[in-house]
Structure formats: C-alpha cells, structure tokens
Structure 1
C-alpha cells in the first residue's frame, strides 16, 4: 500500500465520508473527508503512534487532543472536526490495527 494515498477505516460505511489518514515522508495527515473546509492535521509518526496507542488503551493522547465540542462533534488536534459516528468508526479501525503502519511512516 502506498502511504501517500488516503485510507479510511473499514468500519466506515461504503461511500460515506470518514476520518482519513495518509503519510508522506515524515508526516502523518488526518482529515475528515466530508469537511468542506478541507482541514488537515499534520503530525509526526511518533505523535500518531501515541494517539493510536491511547485509543487502544482508553487513555488520553499526550500529543494530539481529542475533544468533544458542544455541538456534539469531535475535534482532533484542534484542527479536524468530525461526527461521533465517524470518530467511532475511526477508533474501531485503530483498535483493529488498520492504521498501525502509519506510525512507522517515513
């Protein structure tokens, strides 16, 4: 698999927008494909690895904040906003190991 192509969780519905991840060189990127603003969070593989480990263990991520916001959405790293359903699909994919290879990008 090419790391510079966007990947979404297999738990996302077919054809639905979702949280997507890609990597180029030493940068891991996250976006919400349905976001009309096209916001992209850029982070390091180490910070992404810490996020995925935190999601697997239920602990907070030391580098990337995940915050529920008053309108019911979830904000990732203060940049990307998604719905609770799409966030849940992403987390389920993380727990299944679908994004582990991005933690070693570069």
Structure 2
C-alpha cells in the first residue's frame, strides 16, 4: 500500500501517545488505524465514516459505555 499522510486525532494531545486514532485519505476511501497497531487498517468510505461520527455525536452508542 502506498504511503499515506496520516492525521492523528486532536484528542491525542502533544505527548504522541500510542493509543491514538489516525486517519488518512486513499483515493475514494478513508483509512483508519490505531497508532499502537499501525499495520491493522480499517477501510471505509467518507459517507459511512460521516454517518458513524454523526451517530457518535447523537449518542447512538452510549449504551455500550458504563
């Protein structure tokens, strides 16, 4: 896979922690990975990622958290 310009979540802070979500654009796909596992990449579309983020903001997944 070609090199991608990964963008790290702003919630990671400046310390460069190892439990950060990173995201990159690859053509018409969006790639996501956890910084501590850079070889495990989730591939999705911008539309699906947008729907997922809107669901998070709307609290649709709050029942999964204690």
TM range (shorter): 0.7 to 0.9
Gap regions ≥5 residues in structure 1: 61-66, 69-106
Q: Superposed, which structure 2 residues align to 1:84-99 within 5 Å?
A: none
How many pairs align? Answer: 58
Q: How large is the Cα RMSD of the aligned pairs? A: 2.0
Gap regions ≥5 residues in structure 2: none
Greater relative contact order, per chain length (Cα 8 Å cut-off, separation 6+): 1
TM-score, with structure 1 as normaliser: 0.48
More strand by share: 2
TM-score, with structure 2 as normaliser: 0.73
Distance 1:49 1:24 in 2: 16
Higher Rg of the two aligned structures = 2
